[in-house]
């Protein structure tokens, strides 16, 4: 029963549609009707600009961090933080507050890692930025960062972290299946600011 409560809380945290909220409150715009139609940070950057995108990415990261920190906050040390964190990602991808159409799991997944392993989070961010600089594809950088994260956790030999990072990477790759097709066809949009 206790696990169910934490899972529900994490899912509801993940379901907060930050891109939708920021778009409507600050710009009187529903970002689902613009760009890729996605609620995540990337589409927010493209549609609303750097300021809005930065706010959304921070909120989306913190959703994962807070969810993974719930067992610590409520002093429930027997509850596995990474498992709870996964449900915030599910909430982010399929938010109950936005008709179950959400983001692509990248920022919230990284937020979980920030909550349990800050050093690994830094490695992820650096990997993402390097790949983004070289490729100019946000989607490709997101997917390859997930794979690098699995490799790093394998070196650390933390079985729980390996399982969770593998699962999160599967989420990220699955949510980017249309981007993969566009990358192959060379129709995927590239960033121009880096």
Q: What is the pLDDT of residue 193?
A: 80
Q: What is the pLDDT of residue 129?
A: 97
Mean pLDDT by 10 residues, the chain (194 residues): 94 97 94 90 92 96 98 93 97 96 95 96 97 96 97 90 96 96 94 83
Specify whether the backbone of 28 is left (phi greater than 0), alpha (psi in -120 to 50) or beta: left
**Of 52, 54, 50, 60, nearest in space to 26 by CA:** 52
Contact 172, 109 (CB under 8 A): yes
Q: What is the pLDDT of residue 163?
A: 96
Domain assignment of residue 192, yes or no: no
Predicted TM-score (pTM) of the model is 0.94
Q: What is the pLDDT of residue 156?
A: 82
Domain assignment of residue 194, yes or no: no
What is the domain range of residue 91?
2-185
Specify the length of the chain in residues. Answer: 194
Count up the domains in the chain and report the number.
1
DSSP letter at 187 equals: -
Domain assignment of residue 193, yes or no: no
| CB-CB neighbours of 139 under 10 Å | 23
């Amino acid at each position: 029963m206790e696990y169910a409560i934490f899972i529900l809380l994490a899912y509801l945290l993940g379901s907060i549609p930050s891109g939708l909220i920021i778009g409507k409150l600050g710009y009187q715009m529903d970002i689902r009707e613009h760009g890729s139609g996605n609620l995540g940070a990337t589409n927010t950057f493209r549609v609303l600009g750097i300021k809005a995108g930065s706010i959304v990415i921070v909120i989306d990261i913190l959703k994962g961090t807070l969810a993974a920190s719930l067992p610590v906050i409520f002093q429930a040390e027997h509850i596995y933080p990474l498992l709870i964190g996964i449900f915030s990602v599910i909430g982010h991808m399929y938010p109950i507050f936005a008709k179950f159409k959400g983001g692509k799991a990248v920022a919230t997944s990284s937020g979980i890692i920030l909550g349990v392993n800050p050093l690994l989070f830094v490695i992820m961010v650096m990997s993402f930025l390097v790949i983004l600089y070289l490729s100019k594809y946000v989607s490709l950088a997101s997917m390859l960062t997930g794979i690098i994260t699995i490799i790093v956790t394998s070196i650390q030999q933390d079985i729980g972290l390996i399982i969770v990072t593998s699962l999160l990477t599967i989420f990220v790759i699955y949510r980017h299946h249309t981007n993969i097709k566009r990358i192959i066809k060379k129709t995927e949009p590239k960033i121009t600011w880096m």
